[in-house]
Amino acid sequence: MSGKVAIVGGGAAGMAAALSALQAGAEVTLFEKGSALGGILNQCIHNGFGLSYFKEELTGPEFAERLADKVRDSAIDVRLDTAILSIGKDLSIAYESPKGSGTLRADAIVYTAGSLERSAGAIALPGDRPSGILTAGQAQLYLNHYGYLPGKKIFILGSGDIGLIMARRLTLEGAKVLGVAELCPYPNGLNRNIVQCLEDYDIPLYLSHTVTRAYGKGRLTAIELSEVGPDRNPIPGTGRRIECDTLVLSIGLLPLLSLLRPLGLRKNLAGQIEVDDSLMSSLPGLFMAGNALHVHDLVDNVALEAETAGREAARMALGERASGGKELLSKAGDGIGYLIPGRIRESGEEEVLFRFRVRVPNKDCFLVFSQGDKILKKIKKMSIIPSEMEFVKIPKKLLDFSQKTTIEVKLCH
């Protein structure tokens, strides 16, 4: 085996996967469409990164630079400003760069292309289409990278973490943040960001509300804010006009999967690419990690997950991974939004790490892991919320691979 591993994406996941694959003995090529490594981290100048991965609190650029320094000091072949044109079922990668186009045939691929923000078009926002409507990531880029304040009177739709952080950041730079609206009856950001970014700055949070209209011809002049019912549809007659010049959207992320669609990869019920416990997709040799697989809450978790994908990809490329063998399926049960992995191999690591989120906040409940009628593990949770990922390890010796029953994770009271 030649042992060639290709990494698609040079953010935290891509760099961590590349370093892990290199350490495992593979020959590694990393493709990044931008002119620098680090991805979105380079514009996240707030702190709170690295506490578990580097055991130190860092800003986003500092976290990225730590990994980038390791990559630059290694034998990894880094190809910046390189666009991936296609990925083949034979693990070939067609690419184009200022130096020309070409094709690289890999023995394994780790796909870490990240995600995209949902825009006004994604939610079919009614009303005019003036300037001043932008995503939280765009606002972050304008302010943190270019030094441009995107507006003076700002309203934020969605309580995702980037939006919450930008509420604080915009306030500190002199803008007036009029409020944050959230469609759900609960916040979708981390509790610490609700406190530190909204409550500490007296920024109101409107739960069970949404923006039902945008006004303005050249520039945004106002929005209509309405209450929503249990079905999350606007309640007629509840709309009120709020004068503002900017609407920032923090309404979720969508994994960037366009390059993978022609491959016909299996997906789970949540629409994510299905992977096994080594993070390999249904195409042998194609591994997934980071926000391209599922949206994470912390970049530390992204990097740790990507290390697993990089190591397993190297084992595949070097012919060290056992082929075939028994597998069990797993599924998200009651109260669980999604579950990773979707398949569990009898071979490989002695434990399987389950990653998942709950659908809605719950208190005084249990996480129950079962196979058929057998309960494998039951965990008491005083509180559990959708914005925080859950991680649970189950020893494989507890699983019965002779049975074709499915492993299920569900929430019970």
Residues 6+ apart with CB under 8 A from 142: 134, 148, 149, 150
CA angle at 96 for the pair 310 and 139, rounded to the nearest 5°? 75
Q: Closest Cα to residue 223, out of 243, 249, 251?
A: 243
- What are the residues whose beta carbons fall under 8 Å from the beta carbon of 288, sequence distance 6 or more? 110, 111, 112, 273, 275, 279, 280, 281, 309
Between CA 323 and CA 340 the distance in angstroms is 21
Alpha-carbon gap, residue 116 to 291, rounded angstroms: 9
Rounded Cα–Cα distance for residues 134 and 249 (Å): 6
Alpha-carbon distance 188 to 154, whole Å? 19
197-222 residues labelled b (16+ CB within 10 A) or e (exposed): bbeeeebebbebbbbbbbbbeeebbb
Coil vs helix vs strand at 9: coil
Contact 49, 152 (CB under 8 A): no
Q: Give the containing element (helix H, strand E) for 68.
A: helix 60-72
Q: Crossing angle of helices 299-317/60-72, nearest 10°? A: 20
What's the confidence (pLDDT) of residue 123? 86
Which is it for the CA torsion 366, 367, 371, 376, positive or negative? negative
* Coil, helix or strand at residue 172: helix
Helix (H) or strand (E) holding 176: strand 176-182
13: helix, strand or coil:
helix
**What's the token pair of residue 256?**
């960037």
Beta-bridged to residue 47, according to DSSP, are 59
Alpha carbon distance 141, 285 (integer Å): 35
Report in angstroms the alpha-carbon separations of 56 from 11, 59, 195. 19, 10, 22
Question: Given the structure tokens 């892991």, which residue do they identify?
Answer: 369
- The type of residue at 274 is E
Residue 140, both tokens? 């972050």
pLDDT in tens, the chain (413 residues): 579 999 999 999 999 999 999 999 999 999 999 999 999 999 999 999 999 999 999 999 999 999 999 999 999 999 999 999 999 999 999 999 999 999 999 999 999 999 999 999 888 899 989 999 999 999 999 999 999 999 999 999 999 899 999 999 999 999 999 999 999 999 998 889 999 999 999 999 999 999 999 999 999 999 999 999 999 999 999 999 999 999 999 999 999 999 999 999 999 988 899 999 999 999 999 999 999 999 998 999 999 999 999 999 999 999 998 777 899 999 999 999 999 999 999 998 999 999 999 999 999 999 999 999 999 999 999 999 999 999 999 999 999 999 888 999 999 98
E strands, 183-219, in order:
205-207, 209-215
Kindly list the structural domains of the chain, giving each domain's residue range(s) and its CATH number in brackets, ordered by start.
1-117+252-321 (3.50.50.60), 119-251 (3.50.50.60), 325-413 (2.60.40)
- CB distance 68 to 15 below 8 Å: yes
Return the ∠ at Cα 170 (arms to 166 and 175), rounded to 5°.
Answer: 150
C-beta of residue 162 within 8 angstroms of C-beta of residue 271: no
pLDDT at 109: 98
For strand 176-182 and strand 153-157, is the pairing parallel, antiparallel, or unpaired?
parallel
Could you give the CA distance from residue 305 to residue 290 in angstroms, rounded to a whole number?
A: 7
Q: Is the dihedral of CA 76, 80, 82, 84 positive or negative?
A: positive
Query: CA-CA distance, 115 to 122, in Å (whole number)?
Result: 14
